[in-house]
A and B are shown apart, each in its own frame.
Chain A
Amino acid sequence: SYVLTQPPSVSVAPGQTARITCGGNNIGSKSVHWYQQKPGQAPVLVVYDDSGRPSGIPERISGSNSGNTATLTISRVEAGDEADYYCQVWHSGSDHPVVFGGGTKLTVL
């Protein structure tokens, strides 16, 4: 089965840029989606198809994907960005098509 690897935690000061990575074998050939989850809430889609932004998601949040690494970038980080972030892909042709990364806790210092 396909495996996605994320760092358990990332810390950044307010106003700085946070980068959260998601590693996978030739992940650049797949469409990567990112979710933000705050405590006690359901996840929210923040980036789809590598770099698309759903309505209502600020331009400060962006994504990229190449080679074996996809990256979620949050510019001008705010206290309200503190949350868990998960990457996800659709692994076509598999009996386990939906794959999540282990999640990254973003801490705003």
Chain B
Amino acid sequence: GAVVSQHPSWVICKSGTSVKIECRSLDFQATTMFWYRQFPKQSLMLMATSNEGSKATYEQGVEKDKFLINHASLTLSTLTVTSAHPEDSSFYICSAPGLAGHEQFFGPGTRLTVL
């Protein structure tokens, strides 16, 4: 099956700093990728849809100026959490549709802790 990687797997940062998370499709191209956020004991919530070569589409309630998304190539999307605060601490997971187009493949996630 298709493989999606994320880097880093975990990060701890100070409040006010920015953190970049990478999502890569390793053996396939993805013109679209999705970013999810998962708080403890909660389900995954879609944050935004990343589109290669164009602007990302954000879900209602997600600040586009705070969560910057760049999809510069067919295999890489990045999520930058700008001026991170403790309430941004969460598990961030990306996904990409496989070549058949019927299902999603998820990355292993990035645990962000903001002190």
Partners in one complex: no
| Chain A interface (Cβ < 8 Å from any Cβ of B) | none
Q: Which residues of B contact A (CB under 8 A)?
A: none
